[in-house]
Amino acid sequence: MAFELPQLPYAYDALEPHIDARTMEIHYTKHHNAYTTNLNAAIAGTDLEGKTIENILINLDKSNAAVRNNGGGFYNHNLFWTVMSPNGGGLPTGDLLAAIEASFGTFDEFKAKFAKAGATQFGSGWAWLCVEKGGKLDVCGTPNQDNPLMPEVGCGGTPILGMDVWEHAYYLNYQNRRPDYIEAFFSVINWTEVARRFALDK
């Protein structure tokens, strides 16, 4: 069964003024759609057909650039849309906040480390909050469409929060001001969804 572009969980303009409607529309209908189409083409007629995207990425053959780039793009954006919300922002609560404080000291220290991972990623890439078995959290960055599920990316655990720092994610609104986009991203983080992912994977 082919992979399908998931339904966006809110309208294109729902995250304004933090993320503008035109960026959302292009990002979703052009970029994410292309990753989905190209992933299906890359796995057609191979033993990867019928496997979950997580299984494909965990067992990724490094030499298969088409699956790496498009499979990563498909998975990363599937996660990205869900960890943002029109009612997002603020602070996490409960077990997730406790884990953030245990792993980083304070929420502000986590925020600074996550923002730095995004701001210092050279060129295109992602910043991640990952959970390892036992509930420890870690922050890291990956280039291009790589993510922590892939082998040998130097970034362990299961991603529960991802921030896209490719220019197509912010350039129409923020131009070269990536730190401003990162600050805006914190205003739309769906901590309820991040907490749900944390509870599943800790």
- Token output for 68: 């790496």
Sequence letter at residue 194: V
32 is in an annotated binding site: no
Beta-strand pair 125-131/137-143 = antiparallel
Going 143 to 67 to 77 to 56, the CA torsion angle's sign is: negative
Is residue 160 within 8 Å of 76, Cβ to Cβ?
A: no
Alpha helices in 27-170 (DSSP H): 33-43, 53-58, 65-82, 94-104, 107-119
Q: What is the rounded distance in angstroms from the CA atom of residue 183 to the CA atom of residue 187?
A: 7
31 is in an annotated binding site: no
27 is in an annotated binding site: yes
Q: What is the rounded distance in angstroms from the CA atom of residue 165 to the CA atom of residue 168?
A: 8
164 is in an annotated binding site: yes
Return binding residues.
27, 77, 164, 168
Return binding residues for Mn(2+).
27, 77, 164, 168
